[in-house]
Chain A
Amino acid sequence: MLLIACPHCGPRDEAEFVCGGQSHIARPGPPEQVGDAAWARYLFERDNPKGPHAERWLHRHGCGQWFNLLRDTRTHAILAVYGLTEKRPDLP
């Protein structure tokens, strides 16, 4: 069970949230210069690391805001909570 510290609402039960998958994926462009392979990489390929993972979460049953989590996929430990437009924090 995760206790997720929503940046707007404070610590809440994971049942209130939805995970939106990997964060910081830049859409390639301009469109006329993006081939099928690059577009497929953007749409489908994911880091899927065994370890720290930067991911987007939505506080659906709360403030309705998106934010980022840095979470370890081995232990589910939440390493950092940060804004949707902020850079992924460097961990020691």
Chain B
Amino acid sequence: MTRYSLWTLLREGLSGHRGWTQAWRDPVPAASYDVIIVGGGGHGLATAYYLAKNHGITRVAVLERGWIGQGNSGRNTTVIRSNYFLPESAAFYEFALQLYERSADALNFNTMVSQRGLITLAHSRHDLEAARRWVNAMHLNGIDSEMLSTAEIARLVPFLDCSPAARYPVHGGFMQRRGGIARHDAVVWGYARAADALGVDILQNCEVTGFVFERGRAVGVQTTRGTIRAGRIGLAAAGHQSVLADLAGFRLPLVTYALQAFVSEPLKPWLDKVVISPATGVYASQSDKGEIVLGGALDLYPSYAQRGNLPVAEQVMAGFLELFPTLSRARFLRQWAGMTDVVHDSSPIIGPSPVEGIWLNCGWGTGGFKAIPAGGWTFAHCLATQAPHPLVVPFGLDRFATGALIDEAAASGIAH
């Protein structure tokens, strides 16, 4: 594997770019591995990387039904933030954000982390009170955030309609300066490349069709590329986690919904913050290519269709145009939907499953991308040590029976 650096770039630039090597191998599945991870998205690949990096376990395979990053890792709006309300979530997502901050160096891959600041708008006096409470909770959790006045927001986001006559007047808001965006594909590719370099096998076009049991314990998986045995199996399949659980013979507290996103035609630099408007159910940022990236609320009926419905698309556009009327003539180029695995308390599930030998990483709902580094780090710890990482002890599947739910309204960022 070629190490990426300014020196390599110069050398390749002068020699016609003929010396680059492939970023990861396309190996033939081995008969058995120490750990199999099902799901080649950000969480699965990060888990494989940290298994090898932090725990020295390199006989690891990541099984992906299609190609890596094909699911939600390639279908999100790339926002990273840790503006959570409850201490358990704040500790976890802050760890994720700190790992993102160091990810480009750690992975030797430009993950294009841009901490441009994330502004949450308050559109009423009551929104403003909730924002103050939210900011105070963040301060108690030791996370940066600051209240903003309407004038400050108008200065930071010049095209936002902050006039008193606006349909959704801006009463103020708050900002997490360390929030921002990262390049979603680069995160997937960076973890894939780094994991592969440490010996992890990334098996694409390898769909899991069943599990192999011995004396009640899961000891392998049946796939479209043959049966593969494993010491431990980690499931990180996001919206398809329930399908895997069904194959393994248990049920999960998940419902799969479509979450849509949209990008406009590329525009000149226009918005250099991430703006979230909970009241209108819209959030927006501008990508490095100049596209305005928009997201909204869930399509509120179960779906595996990887496409959204029109009423929600219309709702998102209408809300966006109330905030940014100057873009009413912009054209939208693409629309897509990710299949989100939504849990009742909007918090993830990381820990043991009801079946021995199988561990779970799921329940990210609408917010899996920002959690990728910490999800991988803690899930690798679970699989390596057979005990939950201290950060994810509260996020076990057992919380539904004990009633210790982590009801994180800030998880979705916008009201679903």
Using CB atoms and an 8 Å cutoff, list the residues of chain A in contact with chain B. 1-2, 13-15, 18-19, 21-22, 36-37, 39-41, 43-50, 53, 55, 71, 73-76
Interface residues in B285-335 (C-beta closer than 8 Å to A): 300-305, 309-311
B252 touches A75 (CB 8 A): no
Contact A14 B309, CB 8 Å, known A45-B251, A48-B254? yes
Interchain CB contact under 8 A, B305 and A46: no
Binds A, one of B6-14, B31-39, B240-248: B240-248
CA distance A50 to B244 in the complex (A): 11
Main secondary structure of the interface of A (DSSP, over half): mixed
Q: Is the CB of B255 within 8 A of A49?
A: no
21 contacts between A and B (CB under 8 A): A14-B309, A14-B311, A21-B302, A22-B302, A36-B402, A37-B401, A40-B253, A46-B251, A46-B255, A47-B251, A48-B254, A48-B255, A49-B242, A49-B243, A49-B246, A50-B240, A50-B243, A55-B302, A75-B305, A76-B303, A76-B309
Name A71's closest neighbour in chain B (CB-CB).
B301
Q: Decide: B302 and A15 in contact? CB cutoff 8 A.
A: no
In the complex, A76→B302 CA distance in Å?
9
Residue of A nearest to B243 (CB): A50
Within the complex, the shortest CB–CB distance from A51 to chain B, in Å, comes to 8
Asked if B303 and A73 sit within 8 Å, CB to CB, the answer is yes
A48 touching B400 in the complex, CB below 8 Å, given contacts A1-B310, A14-B309, A73-B256? no
The answer to whether A1 and B401 touch across the interface, beta carbons within 8 angstroms, is no
Which residues on the A side are within 8 Å of B310 (C-beta)? 1
A46–B400 alpha-carbon span in the complex (Å): 13
Point out the residues of chain A lying under 8 angstroms from B309, CB to CB. 1-2, 14, 76
Nearest B residue to A48, CB-CB: B242
Q: How far is the CB of B263 from chain A (nearest CB, A)?
A: 21
Contact of B301 among A19, A46, A47 (CB under 8 A): A19
Are A74 and B311 in contact, CB atoms less than 8 angstroms apart?
no
Q: Cβ of B302 and Cβ of A53 under 8 Å apart?
A: yes
Inter-chain contact B400/A40, CB cutoff 8 Å? yes
Chain B residue nearest in CB terms to A76: B305
Given A14-B309, A15-B311, CB of A46 within 8 Å of CB of B254: yes
Cβ–Cβ contact A48 & B256, under 8 A: yes
Please give the distance in Å from B307's CB to the nearest CB on chain A. 9
Inter-chain CA distance A47–B310, complex, in Å, is 26
Nearest 7 CB-CB pairings of A with B: A44-B253, A19-B301, A48-B242, A40-B401, A40-B400, A45-B251, A36-B401
Q: Measured between C-beta atoms, what is the minimum distance from A13 to chain B in Å?
A: 8
**Distance of A22 Cα from B252 Cα, bound (Å):** 14
Residues of A close to B305: CB separation below 8 A: 73-76
How distant is A91 from chain B, measured CB to nearest CB, in Å? 18
| Residues in A whose Cβ lies below 8 Å from that of B243 | 49-50
Indicate whether B59 reaches chain A with its CB closer than 8 angstroms: no
Looking across the interface, which residue of chain A has its beta carbon closest to that of B344? A44
Contact partner of A46 (CB less than 8 A), chosen from B240, B253, B401, B402, is: B253
Starting from the known contacts A45-B253, A73-B302, 7 additional A-B residue pairs (CB-CB under 8 Å) come to A18-B300, A40-B400, A45-B252, A48-B252, A73-B305, A74-B304, A75-B305
Contact with A along B366-397 (1 / 0, CB 8 A): 00000000000000000000000000000000
